[in-house]
Structure 1
């Protein structure tokens, strides 16, 4: 191997791998919904374990593929309100709750 090839090999191996840094930055930027998604996934997984229901059975009940449900239950899927509502209906769990608006009477 000549000196130039050795030099290039050293430079290549010394180049920073920034892929982990990009992923860490992405996780930091999206931590709020990732946290919520993870908590929803854990709640559904606990329900499945307690009720002795398989992921496959729940997926069939929802009309989803087992792969899609598994993706959700990994806790890193950006869930839509539609998906959350379907999970709530199928399981009877309260996964998110939005307080009802209360009107205040104006004092005259």
Structure 2
């Protein structure tokens, strides 16, 4: 007799193949820029906390949507130098330098 947990898992399993291995491989292949992207996100989060700002506030300062700010804060944006510069100018902080110093 199967346990309730096994029965539940069997009843609710997905018919689709898991992407876990592919996702892990992608994260490993992109680890370097993902690490830097997270550091930029942390710098922005620190700025938000220090200034009592919400995602909407940051979006307004940068001239972007709150959804894009959420994407930035996820730490999974492959930034261009132009984007880094726009963030630094819009917020008046040096996120690129903060990211480089912690590397």
Whether the TM-score (by the shorter chain) exceeds 0.5 is: yes
The number of residue pairs the alignment matches comes to 82
Report what 1:72 is aligned to.
72
Residue of structure 2 in register with 1:56 after alignment: 56
Instruction: From the two aligned structures, give the one with the greater helix fraction.
Output: 2
Higher relative contact order (CA 8 A, sep 6+): 2
Match in the other structure for 2:92: 92
**Aligned mates of 1:28, 1:92 — CA distance in 2:** 32
CA-atom RMSD, angstroms?
A: 1.6
Q: Specify every segment of 5 or more residues in structure 1 that has no aligned partner in the other structure, as ranges.
A: 1-12, 98-108
Aligned to 2:4: none
* Structure exhibiting the larger radius of gyration computed from Cα positions: 1
Residue matched to 1:22: 22
Change (3 A) 1:18 1:54: closer
CA distance in 1, matches of 2:68, 2:93: 19
CA–CA separation in structure 2 for the residues paired with 1:18 and 1:67: 27
Runs of 4+ more than 3 Å apart: none
* Cα distance, 1:18 vs structure 2: 5.4
TM-score under structure 1 normalisation? Answer: 0.69
| Partner residue in 2 for 1:46 | 46
Match of 2:31 in 1: 31
Q: Check the 8 A contact 2:59/2:65 in 1, yes or no.
A: yes
In the alignment, the residues of structure 2 paired with residue 61 and residue 44 of structure 1 have an alpha-carbon distance, to the nearest angstrom, of 12
